[in-house]
């Protein structure tokens, strides 16, 4: 992934929290990318349940906590 790709993802993100870009997808899932380590990504549903990830268990828990604390702001961005 190039630096330009990362910038594009960050620009399209609904919110960025602690270096993680949260982007809502058309299917209702949320893609989460670690902008500092773009090889680490996660996809969750609206309930904050992991659909797919390649993050280690510690990072998964950190990201899930961020997701649950900030999901309301992602939803209000479409209100």
**Sheet strand arrangement including 50-53:** 15-17, 20-24, 30-34, 41-44, 50-53
pLDDT of residue 58: 96
Give me the half-sphere count of Cα atoms (radius 13 Å) on the Cβ side of residue 70.
19
Domains of the chain, residue spans: 3-74
pLDDT of residue 48: 85
Q: What is the pTM of this model?
A: 0.87
Per-residue pLDDT of the chain (79 residues; tens, 9 = 90+): 899 999 999 999 999 999 999 999 988 899 999 999 999 999 999 888 999 999 999 999 999 999 988 888 776 544 4
pLDDT of residue 79: 43
């Amino acid at each position: 992934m190039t630096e330009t790709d990362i910038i594009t993802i960050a620009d399209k993100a609904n919110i960025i929290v602690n270096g993680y870009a949260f982007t809502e997808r058309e299917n209702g899932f949320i893609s989460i990318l670690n902008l500092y380590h773009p090889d680490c990504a996660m996809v969750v549903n609206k309930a904050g349940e992991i659909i797919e990830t390649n993050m280690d268990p510690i990072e998964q828990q950190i990201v899930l906590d961020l997701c649950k604390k900030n999901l309301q702001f992602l939803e209000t961005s479409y209100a």
